[in-house]
A and B are shown apart, each in its own frame.
Chain A
Amino acid sequence: MKDQMQEALRGCGADYADIRIERAEETNIVFRGPELDRISSSSSRGGVARALVKGGWGIVTFNDISDLRAQVREAVTCARLVGQEQSQLAETEVVDEVVPAPPMERDFRGVALAEKKRLLQGYNELILGAHPKIQTTSLGYTDLHRQVHFASSEGSYFQETRPDIVLGVSAVAKEGDLVQRGIDSIGLPGGFEAVTGLEGRVQAVAERAAALLSAPPVQGGTYPVVLNQKFGGVFAHEAFGHLSESDFVYENEKMREIMVLGRRFGPESLNISEDGAVPGCRGTSAFDDEGVRTRQNPLIEKGVLVGRLHNRETAGKMGERVTGNARALAWNHPPIVRMTNTYIESGTATFEDLIRGIDLGLYALDYFGGQTMMEMFTFSAAYGYMICNGQIAELVRDVVLTGNVFETLEHMDMFANDFAWAHAGGGCGKGGQSPLPTDLGSPHVRIQNVVVGGRQ
């Protein structure tokens, strides 16, 4: 494969060109209610050829890998229509590596389908039997094995195996017209062992769904809010992480002014980082999809903006160094600037310190999901508790937080010393590429003056 790819790129006439070819195998099992809903598998192979001519990109997507030279030629033809300036890519080392696969105690490709189905069925029955108010369930299992080959006209080549295993569990409880959901998920770049032995967590999901039926909806308004680790991680990703993706910034002078390095974004105690190389997280790989080695990239240090996420072009045009954040969802997409594993660093306070001074506030836990549009964000917690007079009080439902990243980062005032990675399922969506595996991490975090949605 390496020779074919390098041969196809030789003398192609572009300022830069690359080819990425992937082979992916995937298995999905879905239970809904007592019955198996779907069991399916897929196998795909295809690639993307990219050419850069005078600053303009030509991008060609294909399944047929028999004539790579023709695909590169087509990409160059497309790029020639675009280019009107100077091509500018940040320097990166020329690599030639076959990356060893991440450790898997039990490679999921070798686990019998019967065993995968049995595991899921067991979890499903556990939820259905957990509480009389449980109406239905939804459980999804996916294992995905991607093998990536990359070659560039600069002579780089790498081959990397990226396994991803995800289990998502949802319990639906119903009483009259009221429906409540308990959710949990796990996602890891590992083997089948990642999804076994989770009976305790699955049981808790069912019990929470039932408990939420008698929980009141949170009253809309502005509160001090304490986020648990999973929710803090979502905040780092949704509210701040997307804004640090420099494809929004590099050709927009006004955005560059907002995101100028050295600008204060939050208190001294705030540190946010990105790390595509940390072992055992879903957003981890040795190389990004432009052949740049991944690394730790501090974004906010002591409350001050110190870095951002780049592909080679955005780094080149901003005169900054590469960060390894060009990622593609699959063979049929070109890489774009994406997060890997985003986290808020641990502080020194305890959880009790965070809630002690709050007269009326909200403790928001886990997440359904989040969305962001530039500086605006919104995300919802799986569940929450009111905080009254410094104590955790009643369970509440329908917890949705919203805000403006600049104000909200300033309002973060305390960080606990209990950092944890989320290792959750789901993933990140951007530019039609979703869900891309990413990971999130955080300690418990306190934020003042957060707008919480809800009916009055």
Chain B
Amino acid sequence: MIERALEQAKGRAQEIEIAVRESRSSGAEYEDDKLKRVDASQTTAVSVRVIVDGKVGQSRGTDPQEIDAVVDRAIALAEFGSESKFSFPGPSAAPEVKTYDPEIALITREEMVAVGAEALELLKAYNPEIKVSADAGWAISTRRLVNSQGLDIATEESSYGGSAGGVLVRGTDILWVGRYRNWRKKDVNARTLAEQSIEYFRYAERMAPVATKQMPVIFTPRGIRVLLLPLLMGVNGKNVLKGDSPLAGKLGQRIFSPAFSLTDDGTVDYALDSARYDGEGVPRRRNEVVKGGVLTCFLYDLDTAAKAGVESTGNGVGCGASNVLVTPGESSFAEMVRNTDEGIIVENVLGLGQGNIINGDFSVNLALAYKIEKGEIVGRVKDVMLAGNAYDAINHIRAIGSECEWSGSTYAPFLQVEALSVVGKG
């Protein structure tokens, strides 16, 4: 089918790329202490890009029987498409990257139901007032990517994820705590997820007032996205090329604390954003983005790289990061807390991505955060805003943790910055 479509496009398009992805998934979900639903899905996605007279057209569909129609639409669009300076890649060698675990295909629905049941029991044992949510689910997909330059890649990917948490209502105070794990290898442990949630419920047993002032802030391996989101937008090659990124022109400059290093790595075995090849057939690789505080590279796909006069870094399509790894430091989380006279721990925020995020500015509501007083976690802070600039904050690091954790496709330590504005009513 794909071969025929490729053949038929010859003469009408100089270059063509066809990708077909077939996906299956299933999961079981607990909500408000009850098993609520079991689901299953089987879907197909067809996407086509063509280059006609130096212009790109792209189209998508859901029916592999109708590839020809998708190709026709892409060719029709190319007349009005964006100018291209790139060619689709031919075959090339790529590192071995593990993305598929055959165990995942064997997971039964009963087994996924049991994950939720175990999490429910553990969270209820800690506090029966918590209304528990938990789920488990697997996904398997195959992708075939073929282009007119002779590339023909078939890949198989799996993932298995789970979450455990819940809602605790006290008066009109509503506390939501949850943890999740999603990995390409079967590695979900209901007990671990439940215990991690319980730890954060425990810290929140008391409320702590906060006055409006500057104080040091510890970002957890999940809360750190407040700082990483602007940075990842800033190193996106397309934002650099378009002049949107404040990092444009700063390659080779020291812009952060020397303790800070960040790598984009699409080759970590079983990590969620790992693959042998990116979405357009360029080998995924390891890109050192910030090394010892120095900005060392931007991330590119084929189209943007060609326009910027550089090589693709294997971040196609779109120049977005794959797995993001922040290099750990020396301090344990316990030490960081102990060494803080007054400060905040940020696990989750509301309102990230609003406003002038690419500038690095953030002003977020602390959805789940804790107060440190005299080296101890004293309780949860609420109705408090945290404001600052991510670039500024990463340039004023107080401590970097030695313990890293995966959250989605980000692998990060606890990170403490010197001082940020905390706006509270206390």
Chain A residues near B (Cβ < 8 Å): 32-33, 35-46, 56-64, 74-75, 78-79, 81-82, 84, 113-114, 117, 135-136, 172, 174, 177-181, 220-222, 248, 251-252, 254-255, 257-258, 332, 334, 368-380, 397-398, 400, 402-404, 406-407, 451-456
Contact = CB atoms under 8 A, between A and B. Distances in A.
Given A453-B387, A456-B421, 20 more contacts: A32-B242, A39-B77, A41-B73, A42-B59, A59-B39, A60-B40, A63-B43, A79-B37, A113-B79, A179-B244, A220-B212, A220-B387, A220-B423, A251-B131, A368-B355, A373-B350, A402-B365, A403-B383, A451-B385, A452-B423
9 contacts: A79-B37, A136-B242, A220-B387, A251-B131, A254-B131, A369-B351, A375-B173, A400-B351, A452-B385
Interface string B182-217: 000000000000000000000000000000101000
A219 to B, nearest CB: 10
Contacts of B244: 135-136, 172, 179
B350 A402 contact: yes
A349 to B, nearest CB: 27
A254 B82 CA distance: 55
A171 B28 CA distance: 44
Contacts of B109: 78, 81
Contacts of B57: 39-40
A95 B63 CA distance: 31
Contacts of A32: 238, 242
B346 interface: no
B423 A38 contact: no
B127 interface: no
Contacts of A45: 62-63
A interface SS class = strand
B280 to A, nearest CB: 14
A305 B47 CA distance: 48
Contacts of A181: 356
A252 B42 contact: no
Interface of B: 28, 31-44, 56-63, 66, 69-70, 73-74, 76-77, 79-83, 109-110, 113, 129, 131, 167, 169-170, 172-174, 176, 212, 214, 238, 242-244, 246, 350-356, 358-359, 361, 363-365, 367, 382-388, 421, 423, 425
B350 A177 contact: no
Nearest to B355: A380
B247 to A, nearest CB: 10
A79 B66 CA distance: 33
B211 to A, nearest CB: 12
B63 A63 contact: yes
Contact of B355 (A74, A400, A455): A400
A40 B58 contact: yes
Among B129, B131, B355: residue with most chain A CB under 10 A: B355
Given A56-B36, A58-B37, A402-B383, A451 B62 contact: no
Contacts of A334: 39
B363 A36 contact: no
Contacts of A254: 129, 131, 169-170
B184 to A, nearest CB: 19
The 8 A-B pairs of least Cβ separation, nearest first, read: A378-B351, A254-B169, A453-B363, A61-B41, A453-B385, A251-B32, A378-B365, A374-B174
